[in-house]
Every structure is written in C-alpha cells, then in structure tokens.
Structure 1
C-alpha cells in the first residue's frame, strides 16, 4: 500500500513539474519555427514576427544558427519547420551530397557576394602571388570564382557553369593563391590573407559595408543567387508556409530591407 501511495506521489509530482515547465514557457508546439543565420535572415524574420505575423495569424519562432549545415539538417529531421539562409545552387548541392529532400518556396533577397581586403583599396592593386580566400562549399566557392572571372581578375575555362572550382581557372595573370575556408570564417581571415570573397550576410555581421567597401561586388541583374525560404518536400502548401511566404514578400518587408541595409541586401520580389 505504501508503494502504491509513493508511486502516485511521484507521478503527481512529475505531472506538476511538467505543467510548471509548460507554464514557464517551454516548447511552443503551435509555433512555426524557422532556422536562420543571424544577419540579415533572422533580422528580417524578427521584423515579420514583431510587426506582421500576429495580424496574419502566424505564431512565428526564429531559431538562429551560425553555420550553413545545421539549418538544412534540422529542416530535414523536422526539428524546425523551415529555413531561411541559402541560395538555390547551395540547396541543390546540399540535397545531392546529403541525400536530403528540401525545396525552395520563395526567393526573398540577394546578398551580393564581394571581394574585400585590409591590404589594398582596389582589385588592381593585388600583387602577384597574393592569397585570396574563398568559401569552401561547392556552390559559394563557384560563385566566388565567377565573381572574380566577371571582373577580369581570373578567367575560367569556357563552358564552366555553377560547378566551377579552382582547377577550372584557365588564366590567372597575378598568380593568385586560393585558400578555401568555411564561409563563416572568411571575415576573420582578412588579417591573414590579401583578400577574401565574402558572403553578404557574413560581411554585414563583420561590419563590412558591401556597397562601399567591396573591391568588386556581384550585380543583381539576372542573378540566380537569391536567398530563399525552404521547407522539407511535401510541406510547400502548408498553411503556415503560405502565410510566411506572403509576409516575406510584402511591401512592408521590401521597405524594411531597403531602409535597413542600404544596398547591402536587395529584395528579390
């Protein structure tokens, strides 16, 4: 009899503890959770959360990550409902290599990729044999090389598309040496290399000003590298997904992007 009473007491205590945790703001099972890198993705999402989501009937939660892998793996395994941090070429490459099944639902903005340096003020001033850091993932690495090609710093082999690698450089007049690093590490590498091609979000986080400080900068014209909202395949038409798509492509968000980022981030809608 004592054992029965003891068991019941433990069960009641556990139940009360669980209720207390819920009341104190534990996991919100009704929230639509989006994984995002901090700048500008989480900032844009938090603007939506604070100003637009409630009126649209969307309980939005923003979960920040600082890398380009976890947001996709969390979307694939259902830890989050969506993610907002990547481009279509990066997503295609990730799905292929990781055997994930994540799809884009809407393009939101472009973060122009730029070449930055603490050593020189112009790309023409890069010395022979200078070291240039580029992203080490396939999609952003290729994008970096295309940026250098478009500005006459190197020349890629003819017929090379989004899969370009350092091995595909046909002409390298300055005999540049390329150092491949994780994208998030590139701003910190500027003290150790002559120049680095840096993704727009990481440039902003490092207080770099793409429109003013980049030696060369991607053009938004016909650019396939817009940042997108992505979900696991099969969830494209979920009600909360459709609500967020509408909010992310609203006039209010377009104005927020233009006012806050001054050309460093450009709306794609």
Structure 2
C-alpha cells in the first residue's frame, strides 16, 4: 500500500492535502474578484488556522513579501509580481510540510525574483518547510537549491547535491593571473592559456581532485604575480554541458 508521509492519500485525502501547498507560475490559486486580505481570511477558515498562527504568519509575510501595499486590492488588479507574492503567501499560510512551486519567478523582473527567492530561502530555513521547485530559471537553482534533479524526456540525468553537479559536470575551472612582470613563456603544467590581455592571463584547467594549489605553487615558483583569482563553472554552464553531452550520446535515439 502506497503511503506518503505515513498517510494513504486516497483514504485520508483532506489530511494529506492539508500538509501541502502549491504555487503555479502561470495561474493563480487566489479568488480573482476578492481583495487579497479576504482570500487570506477564507483560507484561514478552510484550513482551520488558529488566529494566533494566522496573525504571526501574516505579519511575517507582510515583512518578507511586502503584502501590506496591496492587501486591499482585488487580485484581478494586481501586477504579476504582486500576484505571485500573494500566491506564495497563500501557499505557506497554513504552515504546510511541503510546498510545490512551479516556475514561481517566471516573467518577473530582477528585483521581484530576488525578493521571492529570499522569501523561499527564509521560510525553508526558519520553518524547515520542504520546497520542491520546478523551474527553467537557473538563477532559482543557484540561489535556492541544495539538491538538484535533472530530467530529460522522462529520464533522470542527475539526482544529487548542487555542489556535486558543478564539480562533476562543470568542465574546466578558470585561473586568472595578473603578472607583475612581462614574460615570454607563461605556460604551466596542468593548465592551458585561453585568454591573454596585457599581463593578465586566463588559464583553464581540470582540478581532478587536486584543487588549484599545485598550479599556484608552480606559478609562484617560476613567476612574480600581483593578483590571482579563481572562477568555478556556474550552474548554467554546467547544465548546458550535461545536456549537450546527453544529446550527443543519444541523438540517434530521437532521429
């Protein structure tokens, strides 16, 4: 018998649903013609949220999401960013154990995205709410996710920690060195030069578990340098590499 969190969903449907929250980026779960505050009051009665818990959460959401500025405005008159903030508040209002967020930042500007990401991160940290996020916005992944699952055509390409994903599939790292003097030959073992501008040289290398220390030791032994910085592959580059490799290995399957 299938159970989720110790509950048989079809047998205890109301109890099961009460433990969840959901947000759809493309459509609202709010009552279209009601002011936001009245929607929240309705949800309080539907979920039987105690008054004290309701007030505490509303105060918290007003602070984190800036709800106060549009609580008395009908949902149909809200901007996309305001509606998404109200939808998030509604989804987390009853303190669910798990919340499903489907493209929560789609179509939003940079400031709105950052506010929503900060809200999700704060709720996850303070309330220990599990958040399952489906998104094509890799900024969401980089800012919010510790565990990542990549799915392509129904097949799981990766399931694990975000740091492991970048480490395993991110490709080459970059070492940017600003040399203190001019040198004719700046080649070093274990790395290749990919860019040179004046005395600033960019090397690409695979760490292979040894890290960057051997390269810096080699540089320090043979050259004088003024500054060194390290660039790790970003999430977008890493995921692009994975999909390119997957497409190359399996392209014949879809011809």
What's the TM-score bracket when you normalise by the shorter of the two chains?
A: under 0.3
TM-score (structure 1 length as normaliser): 0.24
TM-score (structure 2 length as normaliser): 0.25
Q: Relative contact order: is structure 1 or structure 2 higher (C-alpha 8 Å, sep ≥ 6)?
A: 1
